[in-house]
Amino acid sequence: MKVLKFGGTSVGSAERMKNLVALIKSDEPKIVVLSAMSGTTNALAEIANSLYDRENDKAKKLIDALEKKYEGVRKELYSKEASLSKGKDLVKNHFEFIRSFTLDMFTANEEKAILAQGELLSTAMVHYYLEEIGINSVLLPALNFMRIDENDEPDLKYIEENLKAELKKYRTPSNSPHRGTGGLLFITQGYICRNAFGEIDNLKRGGSDYTATLIGAALACEEIQIWTDIDGMHNNDPRIVDKTFPVTELSFDEAAELAYFGAKILHPTCVLPAQKRKVPVRLLNTLQPDAKGTVITEKTPTDRITAVAAKDGITAINIKSARMLLAYGFLRSVFEIFERYKTPIDMITTSEVAVTVTIDNPRNIDAIVKELKEFCSVELDKDQTIICVVGSFTAEKQGVAVKVFDALKNIPLRMISYGGSENNVSVLVESKYKKEALIALNKGLFNL
């Protein structure tokens, strides 16, 4: 079994949906994970925001505009009466559901239900299209097996058990829709899941990648393919730097660091399930299906600097206390506060009397600062960016550091993290220096 995930651009229009057929029609058994059409989740989030702000007229206009877009896609996608009519009911039902939230109070649960509509629509639309052209497929409801626990972490055991139970329904010849048609083709929604209370929830923005790797891990699949709009993981952020190139091979560790530190092609934590079960992940380009892309495996490449990524929205927290000098237990009392507020720390630097940590989730920052201030002085630096140089630095560590700092010699560095792993050298800069830093590293590390 293989898992193939197609992102927003890959299902972004009727034409793109039709083009998917060539990539998924082979007889090999596969699970196809689809995102919402590009722009849809943003549009749904905007609708939800208007409803939060009680701007119902604005929300209704946005809903009408989105429905119009889907009506256009429906008419372009289908040519037979039966599918045109099924598509019409589908679009109508989903938009009636979204509209129902304009009538009453709006809560976080309702927001999540709205955000789920994009993936529910795209999967059903592709499923009906396949039906129209005579290809059998099964629509697997992700809400029946994809689940997060009370800490918002995927519950792999639950996912495995329930996904297998769901698939088992199609194993017996009597109810298999695939009798006589060769391989099994399942289609499911990326991103959406249920939470520990059974409510509709999601795996955070970009979460369809995570759905794919969770399914791949749960079924110990042969391979997970992430199909997107670029030919693999590039050595630098192509949205910011002009000259970049695809990296053909990555280790799980390298890919995990790049994803976590801002390489948008992968959801920040989606590498972990694949790494846990050693399932290779291939990054491929729907617009250029023959391009080699990137393969992510356990194999650790030899010494090299692989790629650079950047993560914005970072806050540095400087914690100072004379009590830290020669004291043990001080850092523990600091970290306990972050733990209590479920706020992960990304970078840390220490001196004799101070420690600076960075966080990317400022939700509980006021409460954290208040508790820290009970035993130390605290200063915050907002609008910071972590620039992360990833590679395999086993032997050449010093050389790497020299190259990184030399490339960045004109940029003020707020923090440096080096030696924590053999895969990563990170620096913290003010966000206004991000572009300059990425360009300088492209030149200094890759001669581009």
- Which residues of the shown chain bind ligand ADP in the complex (CB under 6 A)? 7-10, 35, 206, 228-230, 233-234, 237-239, 263-265, 307, 309
Smallest separation, CB 301 to ligand ASP (Å):
27
Q: Which of 414, 419, 417, 418 is nearest to 434 (CA)?
A: 414
How far apart CA 118 and CA 192 sit, in angstroms, is 10
Q: Which of 1, 33, 2, 6 is nearest to 227 (CA)?
A: 6
Mark 201-230 with x for binding to Mg ion (rule: CB under 5 A) and - for no binding.
-----x------------------------
Instruction: Phi first, then psi: give them for residue 29, nearest 5 degrees.
Output: -65, 135
Smallest separation, CB 163 to ligand ASP (Å):
18
323 interface partner picked from Mg ion, ligand ADP, ligand ASP, none, CB below 5 to 8 A per type: none
How far apart CA 448 and CA 445 sit, in angstroms, is 8
Q: Which is nearer to Mg ion, 206 or 293 (CB)?
A: 206
How far apart CA 119 and CA 109 sit, in angstroms, is 17
How far apart CA 224 and CA 30 sit, in angstroms, is 10
Size of the site for ligand ASP (CB under 6 A): 13
Smallest separation, CB 231 to ligand ADP (Å):
8
Half-sphere exposure (Cβ direction) of 5: Cα atoms closer than 13 Å: 31
Q: Which is nearer to ligand ADP, 28 or 229 (CB)?
A: 229
Mark 7-26 with x for binding to Mg ion (rule: CB under 5 A) and - for no binding.
x-------------------
Smallest separation, CB 39 to ligand ASP (Å):
9
Instruction: Phi first, then psi: give them for residue 212, nearest 5 degrees.
Output: -60, -45
Does 36 interact with ligand ASP (rule: CB under 6 A)? yes
Smallest separation, CB 190 to ligand ASP (Å):
5
Does 118 interact with ligand ASP (rule: CB under 6 A)? yes
How far apart CA 63 and CA 52 sit, in angstroms, is 15
41 interface partner picked from ligand ASP, Mg ion, ligand ADP, none, CB below 5 to 8 A per type: ligand ASP
- DSSP H helices, 293-396, are 330-340, 365-372
Q: Which of 204, 269, 274 is nearest to 3 (CA)?
A: 274
Mark 234-263 with x for binding to ligand ASP (rule: CB under 6 A) and - for no binding.
------------------------------
Q: Which is nearer to Mg ion, 191 or 393 (CB)?
A: 191
Angle (CA) 78-82-84 rounded to 5° is 35
Does 268 interact with ligand ASP (rule: CB under 6 A)? no
Continuous segment of H or E residues that includes residue 272? helix 271-276
Secondary structure of residue 396 in the 3-state scheme: coil
Q: Which residues bind Mg ion (CB under 5 A)?
A: 7, 206
- Contact residues: ligand ASP, CB under 6 A: 7-8, 35-36, 41, 118, 190-191, 205-209
